[in-house]
Amino acid sequence: MINTVKTALLLGLLTVLFVIIGNAVGGKSGALIAFGLAILMNFFSYFFSDKIALSMYNAQEVTESEYPELFRIVRRLAQNADIPMPRIYIIPQDAPNAFATGRNPKHAAVAVTVGALKLLNENELMGVLGHELGHIKHRDILISSIAATIAGAIMIIADMIRWAAMFGGLSRDRDSDSNPFVLIALAIFAPLAATLIQLAISRAREYEADRAGAEFSGNPLYLASALEKLDNYSKHIPLQGNPVTENLFIVNPFSVKGIMNLFSTHPPIEERIERLRRMALS
C-alpha cells in the first residue's frame, strides 16, 4: 500500500511539474501540444516494447516440452497471481538475470537468462519469477509508460525553451508575462527533476514487485536468496546489452555507484534483501 501511494504521489508530482512548465512557456495550448507529441512518442514503445526488448537480447520463446520444470513453476505462480499464463523466453547469456514485458497480463512474457537457470535453485527461481509476475499483475509497463509520457513532454517543452533562448525568441515574446530567466531555469531543472521522479517511480515499483514475488512464491526468503546470488554473480559476469534497458531486469545489470545511485532504476540490493527478510519475520 505504501509503495502504491508513493507511486501515485510521484505521478501526481510529475503531472504538476508538467503543468507548471507547460503553462510557463505556452499556456494550455503549448502544454497540450507537447503532451500530444510525448504520447505519440510513447505509443509505439508501449505496444511494441516487448518485441523490441526480446529481440534486443535474442530471446527465444520456448515450449513446455523443452522446459517442463520452468513451465510448471510459472504456471503455479500465474495461478497464485490470478493472471493468464505468460509466454516464456530464454535469453542465451550466462549473466544471471530476468525480466517481464508486455502491455497487460494478456500480452505478457517473462524472459530468463541461461545463467539464471544454472545459478538458481527451484525456490529461488520461484522468487524471481514471482517478482516478474508481480510487474505483470500490477501493470507496471503501463505505469512506466505514463511516467515516460509526462517526462517526455516536459523534456520537449524544455527543448523548446532552450531553442527559443538561443535564437532570442524569449526576449521578443512580448505577449508572454513569463520572466525569461525563470523560463531558462525551468528548462534546465525541470527535465532533471522529471528524470529523478521517473526513476523514483521505477524504484517504488521494484519494491512492490518484490513484495508480490514473496507473496506469489510463498516465502520472502526465496527471493532474498536469489537477489543475493544474482547481485554477486552479475558483478563478475556482465550482461551484453544496452544500459537503456536496465529498468527491465530484476537486478541492475549495469552497476552504478556513489551519487549515480540517484539515477538508478533499482533500489539498493541490500535494502531490498533486508525488506524481504523483515517480511519473513512478520
Which CA distances in Å does 92 have to 63, 73, 75, 136, 219? Answer: 15, 20, 22, 23, 29
- 110's enclosing H/E stretch is strand 109-113
- Residue 38, Cβ density class (10 Å: 0-12 exposed, 13-18 middle, ≥19 buried): buried
The 10s digit of each residue's pLDDT in 79-127 is 999 999 999 999 999 999 999 988 889 999 999 999 999 999 999 999 9
- Residue 257, Cβ density class (10 Å: 0-12 exposed, 13-18 middle, ≥19 buried): exposed
For residue 110, report the phi and psi dihedrals to the nearest 5 degrees: -120, 140
* Secondary structure letter of residue 175 according to DSSP: T
pLDDT over 80 (residue 38) = no
Q: What's the pLDDT score for residue 276? A: 97
Residue with more model confidence, 281 or 157? 281
27 CB neighbour count, 10 Å cutoff = 13
Which pLDDT band holds residue 234 (cuts at 50, 70, 90)? confident
Terminal Cα distance for the chain, rounded: 16
Which pLDDT band holds residue 62 (cuts at 50, 70, 90)? very high
Q: What's the pLDDT score for residue 117? A: 97
The 10s digit of each residue's pLDDT in 175-207 is 445 567 777 787 788 888 888 888 888 888 999
pLDDT over 90 (residue 9) = no
Q: What's the pLDDT score for residue 52? A: 80
Bridge partners (DSSP) listed for residue 109: 87, 101
66 CB neighbour count, 10 Å cutoff = 12
Q: What's the pLDDT score for residue 245? A: 81
The 10s digit of each residue's pLDDT in 39-58 is 776 677 667 777 888 998 99
Three-state DSSP class for 159? helix
Q: What's the pLDDT score for residue 113? A: 97
* Percent of the chain's residues with pLDDT above 90: 44
pLDDT over 60 (residue 23) = yes
Query: Residues 170, 173, 174, CA angle at the centre, nearest 5°?
Result: 140
pLDDT over 90 (residue 171) = no
pLDDT over 90 (residue 13) = no
The 10s digit of each residue's pLDDT in 247-257 is 889 998 876 55
**So which residues are the catalytic ones?**
132
* Separation between Cα atoms, residue 70 and residue 64, nearest integer Å: 8
pLDDT over 90 (residue 35) = no
Q: What's the pLDDT score for residue 213? A: 95
Mean pLDDT of 219-224: 98
* Separation between Cα atoms, residue 105 and residue 18, nearest integer Å: 29
Q: What's the pLDDT score for residue 42? A: 64
Which CA distances in Å does 61 have to 81, 97, 134, 149, 156? Answer: 22, 16, 20, 30, 37
Q: What's the pLDDT score for residue 174? A: 43
- Residue 18, Cβ density class (10 Å: 0-12 exposed, 13-18 middle, ≥19 buried): buried
Residue with more model confidence, 8 or 134? 134
Q: Three cell numbers at 47?
A: 505496444
**Look-up of cell digits 518485441:** 51
